[in-house]
Structure 1
Amino acid sequence: MNTPVTTGTDDFRGLRDQLWTAVTGRDEYAAAGIVLAALDDGLDAESALLDVIAPVQEKVGTEWAANRLTVAAEHAASAIADRVIAALAHHPATRTVPHLGRITVACVDREWHVLPARLLAEVLSLRGWRVDFLGAQVPTPHLISHLHTSGAEIVALSSSLPTRLPTAHAAITACQAIGVPVLAGGAAFGPDGRYARLLGANAWAPDARTAARRLADGIPAPDLAVGRTQVDDLPHLADQEYTYVARNQGQLVREVMLQLENAFPAMRSYTDRQREHTAEDIAHIVDRLAVGLYTDDDELLTTFLTWTAGILTARGVPAMSLRPALDILAAELQDFPRCVRLLDHARLLLDATLAAGHTSGVPA
């Protein structure tokens, strides 16, 4: 591994600007050349990953949210970033002889935002860990099967989408049931790790460097004598409100669509594409309502609606169009007290946000 050199903020900014130009120009070779040349000039690989590549990818997401990058451009930039990381991993300057324990790094099932986990896997490899990187969307049974045969001492579990928290919870309890502790990370677990703690993870880290430090300090193995279920961690699940909403998502979306068409006849002339986008937006709201019920946390729904309002505004769609869907859902779920609470809170905050004009396309 090369000896790290001191690199100032201005140096990182210049490299980030160059890399941004390359990835948004869809020039994979230029992007890789910029990073590899920086390594040849003495930049340490960890800084290249976390102070150059990661911020550029974060900007890609921000620019997409602001409608300054298309979905296709965002996907192309993300694919180039992934290949640049692969090129960096094979550069002579990044070779480190493994001398620490074995760790498995994986995304929870249905989580396709793989870059945070990939960055962590590379950083841990640089620091001497033996890393099994399983990538995106790892079903929990497959993860457990791998742990039984790999000898991994710990799992680093990544999730960016809060709607994956129930799946993450199942993965956490399954890993712990066979004696493997879980380090949780990713935006899904909250900026302060509140959902990692709520779901019983053994540790949480907000970024790769902090994760490496937590691992270096040691994370105790779970007590196999203490068996638990998801309801043990979250007693409010006993009311079955989460189960009802999660199982009836399709029916709820169809009912909202039907009532919207009755209230706004112009919707009947929507194209198939417009109807598909509308149904997707409603499904996302129901998803966030469900995970809010799972965690019993109003903020997961309200934060999403504020973000969605910003996305719609950036695309020239009136954000107030969210309000009728929330009203219909509240009427449909009026017999479920926690649903009513979450939706009432969401409507109040959405109204206040729109009245103040505080909508922004910052990803939730």
Structure 2
Amino acid sequence: MTDPRTSAAELRDHLWRAVTEGSEPAAVDVVTAAADAGWDEEGLLLDVVAAVQVKVGAEWAANRITVAREHAATAVNDRVVAALVHRSAARRPRGAAPRGRVTVSCVDGEWHAFPARLVTEVLRLRGWHVDYLGAQTPTPHLVAHLHDTDPGAVLLSGSLPTHLPAAHAAITACQAVGVPVLAGGRAFGPDGRFARALGADRWAADARGAAAVLEGGLPRPLPTAVRQTVDDLPHLADQEYTMAVRSRGSLVRRTMTDLEHRFPALRGYSDEQREHTAEDIAHIVDFLATALYVDDPEVFTSFLTWTAEILAARRVPADSLRTALDILAGQSRDAPRTLAMLRAGAAALRDHPADPPAQELAAHA
């Protein structure tokens, strides 16, 4: 049995070793033994399991674990959550009335479901009836579920900013049927600025914050017609976001062609390397479009500096990113907001110290 004096840091160390070794039994033993020793399940979920999951992502970004090990570790952590949930459910008094009913769902296209799962289980521990819809829930299916169940709120989770346009559609659709939306996740910004910009009723930084919002009460909006995007985001009237989305394919192709002229070594890439390079350019275009959608360059610059760190960890120079931005700027001369975003991105990369020693452009795995 775990010593009840075992600290959260020690438990995280034990769990980290288990998940990185891919040992589900050992990982489950860490948390169940801690629970038997007196740790509460919420503390284990948020202060141990969630913290280890954050470390998994950080270690992948630093190129210290592979994508396969990152996926395996996440799968083990998911099973750890399930074990704690089953343990708690077995001990919960039967017949107790729930505090209320809510729906937890990921934004359409969002496959990072782990944060939403943690919120779900924390709310269940606190006595809420939670309908957990999981990853990538299409908005029409989410709204159909709301008609069937009439929850007191929707908790909408998003990790990738590129899903903010889909989140906006979900927020307005839920509110149109009279259900308030509590947004959460990294996609909405560290201070929730994008949740507010997109018209969400409230934002929470984490699971405990979400529980506090629900406990304080969320008034229901009156059912109305679905708002148009320009009602919340008037800058979209300039159509630059729409143009960026519609021309995505041609922007990627032309940028690849110009890169071959500037980096002759690219012509010798394998098909897999070329595919990775095209994917990187597509991500740049997607984040550029999202920055245009919310009219905030930080969406774009944060992505670029994060990408530069990822590339540096894999010894790929950020010059490739700067050159791609320069090529995209050449294709966007008639789009002032787009040019401003690209210039902000280039400035952020100039100030970024993550470059490895100069070498040929190389596609990363």
Q: Per-residue CA shift, 1:94-142, capped at 9, x if unaligned?
A: 6364421100000001101111100000000000100000000000000
**Deviation (angstroms), 1:33:** 1.1
Does 2:195 align with 1:196? yes
Structure 2 runs not aligned, ≥5 long: 357-365
1:45 and 2:44 aligned: no
The DSSP-based 3-state class of the residue aligned with 1:176 is helix
Q: 1:66–1:94: structure 2 CA closer, same or farther, 3 Å change rule? A: farther
2:92 corresponding residue in structure 1: 95
Whether the 8 Å CA contact 2:255–2:327 is kept in 1: the answer is yes
Letter in structure 1 aligned against 2:42: E
The 3 A distance-change label for structure 1 pair 268 and 225 is closer
Asked if 1 retains the 8 angstrom alpha-carbon contact of 2:325 and 2:346, the reply is yes
Aligned twin of 1:70: 66
- 2:152 counterpart residue number: 153
Distance 1:287 1:220 in 2: 35
Distance 2:222 2:230 in 1: 18
Q: 3-state SS of the aligned residue for 2:99?
A: coil
Question: Which residues in structure 2 correspond to 1:130-149 (within 5 Å)?
Answer: 130-149=129-148
Instruction: Report what 1:297 is aligned to.
Output: 296
Q: Name 2:57's counterpart in structure 1.
A: 61
The SS at the match of 2:31 is helix
Partner of 1:360: none
Contact residue 155 and residue 181 of structure 2 kept, 8 A: yes
Q: Does structure 1 retain, via aligned residues, the 8 Å contact 2:53–2:77?
A: yes
Q: Which amino acid aligns with 1:201?
A: A
Deviation larger for 241-250 or 86-95: 86-95
Structure 1 residues 98 and 36: alpha-carbon distance in aligned structure 2, compared to 1, 3 A threshold = farther
User: 8 Å contact 1:108–1:136 — kept in the other structure?
Assistant: yes
Change (3 A) 1:171 1:227: closer
Residue 260 (structure 1) aligns with? 259
* Cα drift, residue 40 of structure 1: 1.1
Give the 3 Å change call, closer, same or farther, for CA 355–33 of structure 1 in structure 2.
closer
Return closer, same or farther for 1:34/1:297 CA change in 2, 3 Å cut-off.
Answer: same
Cα deviation digits, residues 47-71 of structure 1 (max 9, x gap):
0100110000000000000000100
The structural deviation recorded for 1:281 is: 0.6
SS at 1:155 equivalent: strand
Q: 5+ residue gaps in structure 1? A: 1-6, 358-364
Cross-structure match for 2:287: 288
Cα deviation, residue 354, structure 1 = 3.8
The alpha-carbon deviation at position 355 of structure 1 amounts to: 8.5
One of 76, 80, 86 as aligned partner of 1:80: 76
Structure-2 change in CA distance of 1:98 and 1:76 (3 Å):
farther
Aligned pair count? 351
Give per-residue Cα distances to partners, 1:230-289, cap 9 Å, x unaligned: 110000111110011112211110110011112222211101111011011101100100
In structure 2, distance between residues paired with 1:349 and 1:154: 39
TM-score of the pair, normalised by structure 2? 0.93
Contact 1:103 1:154 in 2 (8 A): yes
Displacement over 6 Å in runs of 4+: none
What CA distance in whole angstroms lies between the structure 2 residues aligned with 1:225 and 1:311? 44
Cα distance in 1, alignment partners of residues 326 and 254 from structure 2:
12
- For 2:226 and 2:14, the matched residues in 1 are separated by 52
Instruction: Classify 1:139/1:242 alpha carbon distance in 2 versus 1 (closer, same or farther; 3 Å).
Output: same
Closer/same/farther in 2, CA of residues 326 and 98 from structure 1, 3 Å limit: farther
Could you state the TM-score of these two structures normalised by the residue count of structure 1? 0.93
Give, in angstroms, the shift of residue 352 of structure 1: 1.7
Distance 2:346 2:91 in 1: 51
Q: Is the CA contact (8 Å cut-off) linking 1:98 and 1:130 kept in structure 2?
A: no
Which SS does the other structure have where 2:132 is aligned?
A: strand
**C-alpha distance in 1 between matches for 2:120 and 2:8:** 22
Q: Between 86-95 and 110-119, report the one with greater CA deviation.
A: 86-95
Q: Give yes or no for the alignment of 1:16 onto 2:12.
A: yes
Distance of 1:313 and 1:261 partners within structure 2: 21
Deviation per residue, 1:285-309 (Å, 9 max, x gap): 0010000000000111111110000
In structure 2, C-alpha distance between the alignment counterparts of 1:344 and 1:354, rounded to whole Å: 18
Which 10-residue stretch deviates more, 174-183 or 149-158?
A: 149-158
- Render the CA deviation track for 1:182-223: whole Å, top value 9, x for unaligned: 000000001100000000000000000011001000011113
For 2:92 and 2:53, locate their aligned partners in 1 and report how far apart those are by CA, in whole Å.
24
Counterpart AA for 1:331: G
1:248 maps to: 247
| CA RMSD after TM alignment | 1.7
